[in-house]
Amino acid sequence: MMKSALLTKTMAAVLLFFSMSCGVLAGEVTVAVASNFLEAAQKIVKQFKEKTGHQVYLVNGSTGALFAQISNGAPYDVFLSADQARILRLKHAEKLLDETHKTYALGKLVLFAKDGAYLCGDIKTSIESKRTRHFAMADPATAPYGLAAQQVLERLGLLDRIKDKAVVGVNIGQAFGFVATGNAQVGFVALSQAMQSKGDWIAVSDDLYVPIVQEAGLLLHSKGNEAAREFYDFLSSKPIQSMLQSSGFEVPK
């Protein structure tokens, strides 16, 4: 009986040791992610957690809003921006760990409609149509996809003519929501969003807007956090690149 009790205590101690060790080994990562990339990021987190055991917390918002938070000291480890410019600004401000940044995806813009009947063959006709009372877009000042939409409107000569029809979201997620709920008949959204939803869309020609280069940065706050660096490296793995391509993004070559 004494041997049995001793063995039980020993096993319990061993199990406690390993559980404590695993707790130490499992890291935590806080990732600021642009709205257009939220669904893809959730898929990445799931695969990353299954592979490493690390816990990842996602903070979602417009690229401009997240950039402002980081600039003001928000304790994020990785920033998945929807543009390159803000990552470079963080680099110049010395807020990246060892100036670590890279392109993780290239975004594509589409004109989306929940009801395909509102799409009249091309972008200009679809927006100018009397049936289209409102069209949605993200705020060009804070959202790269909103800036791309503004560039499209400018190059099609529509910016001033149809501004009264515009419903502007704080980010691309809200812009998509306006179309999904019927508050706008059509809207400029990310291809990745359109592919995940019921509806139809018209692809926007690449020559109508500056390429949406989505850049990732390993932030200064992540110093000493190996889990954060593992997540940053994981973004470039072949399984993730394959998943992104099937989700409506292009990947850097």
Percent residues over pLDDT 90 in the chain = 85
CATH topology classification for 109-203:
D-Maltodextrin-Binding Protein; domain 2 (3.40.190)
Can you say whether residue 20 is alpha, beta or left, with left for phi > 0 and alpha for psi between -120 and 50 degrees?
Answer: alpha
Pairing mode of beta strands 109-113, 200-203: antiparallel
Structure tokens at 112: 């989306």
pLDDT band at 248 (very low <50, low <70, confident <90, very high): very high
Residue 2 has pLDDT above 70, yes or no: no
Structure tokens at 156: 């099609």
Largest CA distance in the chain: 89
Average of per-residue pLDDT values in the chain: 91
pLDDT at position 20, please? 40
pLDDT at position 210, please? 97
pLDDT at position 26, please? 80
pLDDT band at 156 (very low <50, low <70, confident <90, very high): very high
pLDDT at position 6, please? 41
Structure tokens at 213: 């280069």
pLDDT digits (tens, 9 = 90+) for 104-113: 999 999 999 9
Residue 3 has pLDDT above 50, yes or no: no
Greater confidence, 21 or 164? 164
Tell the burial category of 156 from Cβ atoms under 10 Å away from its Cβ (0-12, 13-18, 19+): middle
pLDDT at position 253, please? 80
Sorted by where each begins, the domain ranges of the chain are: 26-107+212-246, 109-203
Would the pTM count as exceeding 0.95? Answer: no
User: How many Cβ atoms are within 10 Å of 76's Cβ, its own excluded?
Assistant: 23
Residue 193 has pLDDT above 80, yes or no: yes
Alpha-carbon span 142 to 92, nearest angstrom: 19
Pairing mode of beta strands 96-107, 109-113: unpaired
Q: Which amino acid belongs to residue 92?
A: H
Average pLDDT over residues 147-153: 98
User: 26-107+212-246 maps to which CATH number?
Assistant: 3.40.190.10
Q: Which residue has the tokens 């903070």?
A: 59
pLDDT digits (tens, 9 = 90+) for 199-245: 999 999 999 999 999 999 999 999 999 999 999 999 999 999 999 99
Which of 175, 234, 171 lies closest to 244, judged by CA? 234
pLDDT at position 189, please? 97
Structure tokens at 22: 């695993």
* Contact present, 36 and 60 (Cβ < 8 Å): no
pLDDT at position 5, please? 45
pLDDT digits (tens, 9 = 90+) for 35-65: 999 999 999 999 999 999 999 999 999 999 9
- Enclosing H/E stretch for 47: helix 38-52
pLDDT digits (tens, 9 = 90+) for 9-43: 444 444 444 434 444 468 999 999 999 999 999 99
